[in-house]
A and B are shown apart, each in its own frame.
Chain A
């Protein structure tokens, strides 16, 4: 079974298998790249889309409405590689029409890249995930586990990879890295809002929480919502600017950087890697401390004061982490902005989202573990969910 993607080829809608879509997108991306200096780029692309559409018609009928990967491969074989024109293309095994091997799924070279679009730290895990064709979350999980098992030693491996593996910046490099841009941000967003709704429900329990606390929470939530909305708008705008006809990743068409002095840019250029390293170091130290606390009840072999309960220790640890991480994030964000690194804004924000998510998760866990009312509430959660579904079910698209 395959997901079907509806696309617009010069005004007519076609339905493509996911694989077929990827193949076509690669072909058109490559065509666009080769014709990038051609003044008639838009017109030729329209002609090509039209011709592809007509060729796809051959395969479609009343009972066959979706173009498959093998069919689009056949169509693109007929189309032939797009000729870039005068510029020497002799490197790719003779640019004679018909003699050049047609672009096929397996033909595109697959290379390991960092994919910064939607990355948590630098995009190493995303690049590896794209290369191995697995979920990026899985790779991240493996990295975190390995880092914990090796007592942080594996974090060094990540750092080395961060510097050694090149970053995918053009759409061709993105295609080489894998193809479809994987968007971790959406997952983080999704998880954050899910966790938040759970936390909301827990906090609505009037017995467990002081009214003052609730007000504080409401204010915070309002502020958070506002920030989130502004951030979403920003994200959508940058996406729109970057999008031509596909959802080209934002980094493929960088937004013009705001004018910044040369000295500021140099400073920012030095600061970004330093701050990134510091951020990563703080994160790994924190993660390792959490793990050691949960596993052994002591932080790096130093046991807790006897009158300090476990949940308080976890909370303090989280607060400490945020104390260090927040200024680092803001400094990093500012440096990115100075470099015109708008397209990487997403990764910084995603990191913040991830931290926020972790914080809520921790808070929820501590509440669940040590406050009986909350514990009770979580046990009743399936009931709450069913109720919510009844209320909100009709409202969803």
Chain B
């Protein structure tokens, strides 16, 4: 718990990257995203996710479409845009290079 508190800044910085990964895998609804993330270190909440998604949509990384749901009103299903996909690829590369750097520093 103590370490998870201490590294919260790292997770916060990575959240957008994580969301890009989650959205890339499938068309997802916010509740699905939260459910998938709840099992990981990146547990997050609506209060954080909605503002983040709206920011990413403004930046053209993700987009959503309305889909009817069997229970309740239609839901927003998010997917990556072309720009989002290239951003994700870039981030993946960057993450790998970071890992390499970290590995080299250990020696």
Which residues of B lie under 8 Å from residue A99 when comparing CB positions?
5, 8
B107 is an interface residue with CB less than 8 A from chain A:
no
Given contacts A47-B50, A51-B46, contact A85 B55 (CB under 8 A): yes
In the bound complex, CA of A373 to CA of B103 (Å): 102
Complex contact B54–A43 (CB within 8 A): yes
Complex contact A82–B51 (CB within 8 A): yes
Complex contact B45–A80 (CB within 8 A): yes
Which residues of B lie under 8 Å from residue A11 when comparing CB positions?
73
Given contacts A40-B58, A51-B30, contact A83 B51 (CB under 8 A): yes
Q: Chain A 56-97, CB within 8 Å of chain B: the 1/0 string?
A: 010000000000000000000011111111000000001111
A198 is an interface residue with CB less than 8 A from chain B:
no
Complex contact B8–A94 (CB within 8 A): yes
Which residues of A lie under 8 Å from residue B12 when comparing CB positions?
95-97
B27 is an interface residue with CB less than 8 A from chain A:
no
Which residues of A lie under 8 Å from residue B11 when comparing CB positions?
96
How many residue pairs bridge A and B at CB < 8 Å?
Answer: 72
A261 is an interface residue with CB less than 8 A from chain B:
no
Which residues of B lie under 8 Å from residue A78 when comparing CB positions?
45-46
B43 is an interface residue with CB less than 8 A from chain A:
yes
Complex contact B47–A96 (CB within 8 A): no
Complex contact A50–B8 (CB within 8 A): no
Given contacts A47-B30, A51-B30, A99-B5, contact A79 B45 (CB under 8 A): yes
Which residues of A lie under 8 Å from residue B102 when comparing CB positions?
none
In the bound complex, CA of A80 to CA of B44 (Å): 8
Complex contact B47–A84 (CB within 8 A): no
- Shortest C-beta distance, B106 to chain A (Å), equals 27
B9 is an interface residue with CB less than 8 A from chain A:
yes
A39 is an interface residue with CB less than 8 A from chain B:
yes
- Selected from A43, A94, A97, the residue in CB contact (under 8 A) with B47 is A97
In the bound complex, CA of A84 to CA of B31 (Å): 20
Q: CB within 8 Å of A: which of B1-22? A: 5, 8-9, 11-12, 15
Please tell me the size bucket of the interface on A: 20 to 34
Which residues of A lie under 8 Å from residue B5 when comparing CB positions?
94, 99
Which residues of B lie under 8 Å from residue A12 when comparing CB positions?
73
Please tell me the size bucket of the interface on B: 20 to 34
In the bound complex, CA of A84 to CA of B12 (Å): 13
Complex contact A79–B47 (CB within 8 A): yes
Name A's interface SS: loop
Complex contact A48–B46 (CB within 8 A): yes
Q: Chain A 294-325, CB within 8 Å of chain B: the 1/0 string?
A: 00000000000000000000000000000000
Which residues of B lie under 8 Å from residue A95 when comparing CB positions?
12
**Closest residue on chain A to residue B54 by CB atoms:** A40
A31 is an interface residue with CB less than 8 A from chain B:
yes
B52 is an interface residue with CB less than 8 A from chain A:
yes
Given contacts A38-B51, A44-B51, A54-B72, contact A80 B8 (CB under 8 A): no
- Shortest C-beta distance, B64 to chain A (Å), equals 10
Complex contact A81–B47 (CB within 8 A): yes
Which residues of B lie under 8 Å from residue A31 when comparing CB positions?
47
Sample of 4 further A-B pairs with CB below 8 A, known A79-B46, A96-B12: A40-B57, A47-B30, A97-B44, A97-B45
27 CB-based A-B contacts, threshold 8 Å? A11-B73, A35-B51, A38-B51, A38-B54, A39-B58, A44-B51, A47-B50, A47-B76, A48-B46, A51-B30, A51-B31, A51-B46, A78-B45, A79-B45, A79-B46, A80-B46, A81-B47, A82-B48, A82-B50, A83-B48, A84-B51, A85-B51, A85-B55, A97-B12, A97-B44, A97-B47, A99-B8
B residues apposed to A, CB below 8 Å:
5, 8-9, 11-12, 15, 30-31, 43-48, 50-52, 54-55, 57-58, 72-73, 76
